[in-house]
Structure 1
Amino acid sequence: MKEQATMDFDDESSILPPQEPVTCLGLTFENDEARRVHFTEELRKKLQDPEFRKIEGFPIGNDEDILNLSDPPYYTACPNPWIADFIAEWESMKPAQPEGYHYHREPFAADVSEGKNDPIYNAHSYHTKVPHKAIMHYILHYTEPGDIVFDGFCGTGMTGVAAQMCGNREVVMSLGYQVKPDGTILQEGADENGKKVWIPFSKMGPRYAVLNDLSPAATFIAHNYNRPVDRHEFEKTAKRIVREVKDEYGWMFETLHTDGKTIGEIKLTIWSDVLICPECTHEFIFWDVAADPKSGSLKEPFKCPSCAVSLTKKKCDKAVETVYDPAICRTISRRKQKPVRVIYTIGGKRHEKAVTQNDLDIISKSQITTAKSWFPANRMMEGGETRRNDSDGITHVHHFYTKRNLIELSLLREKVFQHKTKLPALGLWFTSTHPWVTRLSRLLVSNYFKKKGGVVAPTLQGTLYVSSMYAETNAADRFELRINSCPYTGFGGNVAVLTSSTSDTKIPDNSVDYLFLDPPFGANIAYSELNYLWESWLRVTTAIEAEAIENRPHNKSLTDYLHLIQKCFTECYRVLKPGRWITVEFSNTRASVWNAIQTAISDAGFVVANVSILEKSHKGFRAVTTSTAVKEDLAISAYKPNGGFEERFQKEAQTEEGVWDFVRTHLKYLPITKQQGVLLQFVPERDPRILFDQMVAYYVHKGYPVPISSQEFQIGLSQRFIERDGMFFLPDQVAEYDRKKMISGELKQMAMFVSDEASAIQWLRQLIKEKPQTFSDINPQFMQQLGGWSKNEAQLDLRDLLNQNFLCYEGKGPVPEQIHAYLSTNWKELRNLSKDDPTLVTKARDRWYVPDPNKAGDLEKLREKALLKEFEEYKEVKKKLKVFRLEAVRAGFKKAWQERDYAVIVAVADKIPNNVLEEDPKLLMWYDQAVTRMGDGNKGGMI
């Protein structure tokens, strides 16, 4: 199994035409090969430095394998020593901005929907992948031509593709924009009369991109996706490689036609498990008893062909066989599978038949054939997915392939790697085709029987599950089919790729203009495990210690995930320029992971300004099978405060002026309006309670006590800023909001869902602010909302909620303004009556209403006193708290923070169920900060 070193072509010059001189990072070389040789030697020297190898996330692999995979300085299968050089060069090449230019963007608040039916997107699969066209919307919004974009979890490198495609007029216009001759991009808008117009919002032109990932497989794919390729030369070379592999091993996929003399080429062989009847111990092939052409499916139950007992697959044992494995030099036991059907072609015409003795003889011959080229035979790494097939005897990498595909794949790899540096698309071709030639390929049974659509699907997303009925394709044939699928998207020189942890990129401080991240989310995807087959063939694997995921086999809890992802966001904060934006694509079904991400973003120093929908059509394994799976991804927009504000905050943090400076600055970054179709939507980030929470979070993450109460904040907000429809604006923002509302009509309020005391208060506030009502009016509506009440939350009586948070007009004194405005608007006979008119007073009596902020101070103090009294009881309780007032815990945590009594926060947190702490962003914030300030020794056991 030693790799061949000889060339496969008589004359290497026939692969590519003569190359002209190239310039890279200020150095000029005779050709691109000379560039590669120079920087490869420089990287070789760097790999000798022990400190270089200590960079967090340094992949597992020897020097030669890392060098063979790399294409320095554009791509290194390890940390990239030239990233700072690229950034300095790109920065110097930026187009000059007009005099007085000041960067400012509102968050991109529109929901984005871009499908995946695009040849570039489909050229290479990956476990999670955002379409490059979706990313283009964000890059065009937040950046200018020549700006530098960073993606620290790049996957297949779609952010790099998107950055380069911002210079492609045709692609930009396909997103729904118009482009003027001077490159100005126009988006659809409306004038003050509601008439459709096109508004300038960006400039067309490529952006530069720095792409990073912990996985060598991901960065290898990303680099190859973003390098320029001569399509003609690639196709010629790829076809030659396939032809030579078929010349060598084509006999393995030959079959005898039903006429007994014509030879056909096998395209697909269906393999089936052999099962054992639990009643009579008879062995039978699952396909023979379950395949049902009439229904177009696998039927259950089925009958044992020996004793006729009714069975299901789960009731049966899998038959096992013992064989000698020469790759690891020992005998192994594995689940027994048999070939059952063959699909083949003769002269381009499709045929099908049952497996014959001739087919079995060819398979047997291939089993004893020795591969001439290297293939990986290492033990699968520790992990839930990588070891899920151990019980079936699939324990090593080579077990995921039939022997004949393993042999063909090994030769294909050897030939590809001889030329992939000169033709990067060859590398992309190899990894993109790989999933189609493993035992993870699935037979689409319905399509097979109904003879419509494709009958083979590659690996099921998110898992390394080997089906009981799998489809063995012809490796060389599959590679031939995918020659036309490889993209040619890179313009060259605009993308630099490195392989390391996002927590330690060595990118210079404040040097990146925009960040788009699609990070791992909790336990959603075990990337290192799912990439292990790819990386075993590439001979460089992921350093899993730095992988920011939840993974029980790797001893990583949600707490570990939180701290790892927090380190990554802290690094992202460091490299981003002040006043610039980060977009985080989020997809997870668990509130605890959502809160962990928000905590990590805030702890790093970012301030969240908007959350919108980013729709992707394809569903992964868990999204399909889990009823609680989210339907859409979210795009979180956050900003790094500019340097001027941060300097002022250091001086103002201890004073109330620091609060209003924060709010004033934050409002500048918020969307003025959000629309869904023609309807204007409520902007939750402008809600006074959300603004207060953001301010508190900023103070807490900076380590300062909050100098103002919620009530004082509400009063100050109404005095300093302008309110519209329950939202607050800066003076220069109000005109824009009023104009949009005039065009769009009524505001669409957010739907409220009651699950605890806080949401119940919000629901009541929205209900009676619009329509002050009596208890008897409110109660039946309130009862309908209680179906989703949290099991750990103490359920308060409606009267208690009303008494502690709202006011009731008892008929004494003038009718409150809020009730008066409602009644005089909705009853003609009550219009123009004074506030103490007996008729109006009678109609208004016993109605509950939202107190004016200036008059609600006493109510707020009484409520806080009651909450803190309850929190004192929780402090004294010795056992775990099963049911409690979450609001009391929040109030107690806040008071303890102000008093720097971090031990109290940690002690009470230990009494709360883990899921409650994980799923409440406020509690998680207080707790995380308290633990940080008490020292790392207290971090154990949180989640």
Structure 2
Amino acid sequence: MSRVVTEPYRREIIGAKGSIFYRAHSYHTKVPPEGIVPVIEHYTNPGDTVLDPFCGSGMTGVASLLTGRKGVLSDLSPAAVHIASGYTAPNDPAALADAARALLADLADLEQELYGTKCGRCTGDARIEYTVWSDTVVCPGCSHEVLFWDAARQPDGTISKNLVCPLCSSSFRKGDTEIRPGAPVLVSVGCLSCRSREQRPLTPVEMKIAHQAHRSEITDWYPTAPLESWREMWRGQHGKMGIATAADFFTDRNLRALAAVWKQANTSPERLGLRFATTAIVNRASRRYQWNPKRPTNVLSGTLYIASMTYEFNVFSLLRRKLSAVIQLAKKVGETQGQCSVTRSSATDLNHLPDQSIDYVFTDPPFGANIYYSDASFLWEAWLDDFTDTTNEAIVSTSLTAQHGGKTLNDYEKLMAASFGEIARVLKPGAWASVMFHSSDDAVWSSLERAIESADLTLESAVAFDKSQPSFKGVKQMTNQERVSSFDLVLHLHSTAGGVAKRRQAITASVAEQDVLEAIASHLQTATPRQRSTPYLHSFVMRLLLERGASFAGYSYGQVEVLLSKNFLFEKGAWSRAQTSNSPASIKIEGTA
């Protein structure tokens, strides 16, 4: 029997990103499943059915497994369906381990051919763990070809935007030059005998293998899907660097290795687990990993950017580590009591689900124009040879034509309204839906509220979700490079007759700017430093407006930042109350810290 819940979940949610359930496979956005667990337990009983129609990487399904519920997941993206299935489908850990050993054994000779070398210390057998590649640029001053590695690196190892030609000393910018095929400049070698690790310039033999035209020797299938210039993530730099297809995101050597691994994975009895492990290394095995003098930096999510100096990681070393993680994941999934199914479908059409069949919904839909998911999934979907139909992709993309998935804010709102209508249809009477959302744009928030209002759902509360670690865009915000919100809100919606429209008619209170200032002032009295950051306070203001049914107009991220700067003190990344007699009076809204 379904649990009767009359009060929404009101505690702020914290989710860490360190568990195997989170890190086995990357995705553009991901909600730590441990943060979803207490919310599921608040709204449902063991055995109840939990839906996520924008499932992404499948973390709602993982939380359902952990709590003994039945997860029902769906997504428009074939990459999302593949990844969510890999996270939630049961696998025999022993059989998967045997298949992993067999795959690596079958391809051991190929690894030796592509990455084998000798240790510089003991002369024993060793393998190249990674090679650093540098673009070649043409100096505008003397027309000589110059390695970016030589022109941009400073004495302290950092990279300068102003390049200096080592031949004629001309100073120039990368964007003003012609880019030609790059060259390897550094290798990291791990010895199989003395176990030492060394980083050094390449030997002549290593240089020859790196430059070898391996693509002509590839007999296995590899993706040749074009990177069309109409894509949101296409940049002129791709053309300059010769990036015309998915295959061009990889060095010839890594493309040859991945093609061989993909063939083995697809013909194995443990196909699901091996394919999951392989796509989990695709981005790291590509040219998208930017070289850093201190440590490898992650692929920039939400872009298809390729830097001028990149890592070429040993595909088999990546795979060994990832297979170990996927086997560990299989063991953990096997210990859970829940179930999960994953279906490919648009959230606007859940026709595979009967009316009033779902006990609870937890979902994390696209946030307007934040991420272009189909482009961000390009490399995964190229290897899967299956691409997102962008017709119903719920994004805002005004630079694209309708033919290629372009949509206005109004189009986005219609798709979200249709999705919320389907959520309301499949929810049991009196059941709840939790929707995770954030946006820096007040117009997107207004669009979301209207979409909810069109369904038979009542907004009862909103709480902050702290993922503990900021996204790449969140990091940029904290360094004042970009103004974005990095704290999500979880909106708790109740399936009741009348919906938000009825609730809003009953609301008579308005929220004036002074009300907002007083709420912030009250919050700052007891807030932690993290809860006094600009991203948190923007989410705090959005929550206040949501719960009072007020307009979002005038409260974009940038406008909230201006409001804070005029009324509060900012020091060491946190806001505090100004110590004056004119400080806003103290009030406190329900459920805040």
Shorter-chain TM-score category?
0.7 to 0.9
Equivalent positions of 1:483-632 (< 5 A) are 483-486=323-326, 487-488=329-330, 489-490=332-333, 491=336, 494-506=339-351, 507-551=353-397, 552-553=399-400, 554-626=405-477, 627-632=482-487
Structure 2 residue 235 is matched with structure 1 residue 354? no
Contact 2:65 2:338 in 1 (8 A): no
Once the two structures are TM-superposed, the CA of residue 444 in structure 1 deviates from its matched residue by 2.6
- Of structures 1 and 2, the one with the larger relative CO (CA 8 A, separation 6+) is 2
Instruction: Tell me the equivalent position of 1:633.
Output: 488
Partner of 1:467, secondary structure, is coil
The change in CA–CA distance for 1:365 and 1:313 in structure 2 (over 3 A counts) is closer
Give the aligned residue type for 1:357.
Answer: P
Contact 2:164 2:172 in 1 (8 A): yes
Which of 108, 114, 119 is the aligned partner of 2:9? 108
Which of 319, 324, 340 is the aligned partner of 2:179? 319
Contact 2:290 2:296 in 1 (8 A): yes
Which of 223, 235, 238 is the aligned partner of 1:376? 223
Equivalent positions of 1:338-737 (< 5 A) are 338-347=183-192, 348-367=195-214, 369-381=216-228, 382-386=230-234, 389-419=238-268, 422=270, 424-445=272-293, 447=294, 455-486=295-326, 487-488=329-330, 489-490=332-333, 491=336, 494-506=339-351, 507-551=353-397, 552-553=399-400, 554-626=405-477, 627-641=482-496
- The 1-side partners of 2:220 and 2:546 are apart by 65
Partner of 2:454, secondary structure, is helix
Give the aligned residue type for 1:109.
Answer: R
Structure 2 residue 120 is matched with structure 1 residue 266? no
Give the aligned residue type for 2:489.
Answer: L
Gaps of 5+ in 1: 1-95, 167-205, 321-335, 448-454, 664-674, 695-750, 764-779, 786-943
Equivalent positions of 1:920-935 (< 5 A) are none
Structure 2 residue 171 is matched with structure 1 residue 310? yes
Contact 1:443 1:457 in 2 (8 A): yes
Once the two structures are TM-superposed, the CA of residue 593 in structure 1 deviates from its matched residue by 1.2
Which of 77, 100, 103 is the aligned partner of 1:215? 77
Range that drifts further, 431-440 or 554-563: 554-563
Instruction: Tell me the equivalent position of 1:247.
Output: 109
- The 1-side partners of 2:24 and 2:361 are apart by 24
Partner of 2:212, secondary structure, is helix
The change in CA–CA distance for 1:590 and 1:659 in structure 2 (over 3 A counts) is closer
Instruction: Tell me the equivalent position of 1:73.
Output: none
Equivalent positions of 1:783-822 (< 5 A) are none
Partner of 2:224, secondary structure, is coil
Contact 2:191 2:197 in 1 (8 A): yes
Instruction: Tell me the equivalent position of 1:891.
Output: none
Partner of 2:107, secondary structure, is helix
Give the aligned residue type for 2:164.
Answer: K
Give the aligned residue type for 2:131.
Answer: T
- The 1-side partners of 2:233 and 2:545 are apart by 46
Deviations 1:216-251 (A, max 9, x none): 111111112112222232222212212222223421
Deviations 1:184-213 (A, max 9, x none): xxxxxxxxxxxxxxxxxxxxxx11111001
Once the two structures are TM-superposed, the CA of residue 262 in structure 1 deviates from its matched residue by 5.0
- The 1-side partners of 2:134 and 2:368 are apart by 35
Once the two structures are TM-superposed, the CA of residue 304 in structure 1 deviates from its matched residue by 1.5
Deviations 1:585-615 (A, max 9, x none): 1122211111111111111222111111001
Contact 1:344 1:350 in 2 (8 A): yes
Instruction: Tell me the equivalent position of 2:572.
Output: none
Once the two structures are TM-superposed, the CA of residue 436 in structure 1 deviates from its matched residue by 1.4
Give the aligned residue type for 1:636.
Answer: L
Give the aligned residue type for 1:135.
Answer: I
Once the two structures are TM-superposed, the CA of residue 659 in structure 1 deviates from its matched residue by 8.3
Partner of 1:456, secondary structure, is coil
The change in CA–CA distance for 1:575 and 1:264 in structure 2 (over 3 A counts) is same
Give the aligned residue type for 1:153.
Answer: F
Deviations 1:310-330 (A, max 9, x none): 34444x40333xxxxxxxxxx
Partner of 2:424, secondary structure, is helix
Once the two structures are TM-superposed, the CA of residue 386 in structure 1 deviates from its matched residue by 4.3
- The 1-side partners of 2:265 and 2:341 are apart by 22
Partner of 2:283, secondary structure, is helix
Partner of 2:50, secondary structure, is strand
Give the aligned residue type for 2:273.
Answer: A
Once the two structures are TM-superposed, the CA of residue 156 in structure 1 deviates from its matched residue by 1.1
- The 1-side partners of 2:164 and 2:38 are apart by 56
- The 1-side partners of 2:542 and 2:77 are apart by 36
Which of 19, 42, 46 is the aligned partner of 1:118? 19
Equivalent positions of 1:895-906 (< 5 A) are none
- The 1-side partners of 2:504 and 2:472 are apart by 47
Once the two structures are TM-superposed, the CA of residue 473 in structure 1 deviates from its matched residue by 0.5
Partner of 1:297, secondary structure, is coil
The change in CA–CA distance for 1:686 and 1:560 in structure 2 (over 3 A counts) is closer
Q: TM-score, normalised by structure 1?
A: 0.51
The change in CA–CA distance for 1:391 and 1:662 in structure 2 (over 3 A counts) is same
Partner of 1:275, secondary structure, is strand
The change in CA–CA distance for 1:243 and 1:585 in structure 2 (over 3 A counts) is same
Partner of 2:267, secondary structure, is helix
The change in CA–CA distance for 1:686 and 1:253 in structure 2 (over 3 A counts) is closer
Contact 2:457 2:496 in 1 (8 A): yes
Contact 2:462 2:547 in 1 (8 A): no
Instruction: Give 1 or 2 for the bigger CA radius of gyration.
Output: 1
Give the aligned residue type for 2:249.
Answer: F
Contact 1:386 1:530 in 2 (8 A): no
Q: TM-score, normalised by structure 2?
A: 0.80
Deviations 1:726-784 (A, max 9, x none): xxxxxxxxxxxxxxxxxxxxxxxxx9x9x89xx9xxx9xxxxxxxxxxxxxxxx95xx9
Once the two structures are TM-superposed, the CA of residue 563 in structure 1 deviates from its matched residue by 1.3
- The 1-side partners of 2:76 and 2:542 are apart by 34
Instruction: Tell me the equivalent position of 1:151.
Output: 52
Give the aligned residue type for 1:136.
Answer: V
Deviations 1:658-704 (A, max 9, x none): 889978xxxxxxxxxxx989979xx999999976869xxxxxxxxxx
- The 1-side partners of 2:232 and 2:411 are apart by 17
Give the aligned residue type for 1:415.
Answer: Q
Equivalent positions of 1:61-72 (< 5 A) are none
The change in CA–CA distance for 1:678 and 1:289 in structure 2 (over 3 A counts) is closer
Partner of 2:127, secondary structure, is strand
The change in CA–CA distance for 1:684 and 1:384 in structure 2 (over 3 A counts) is closer
Range that drifts further, 491-500 or 225-234: 491-500
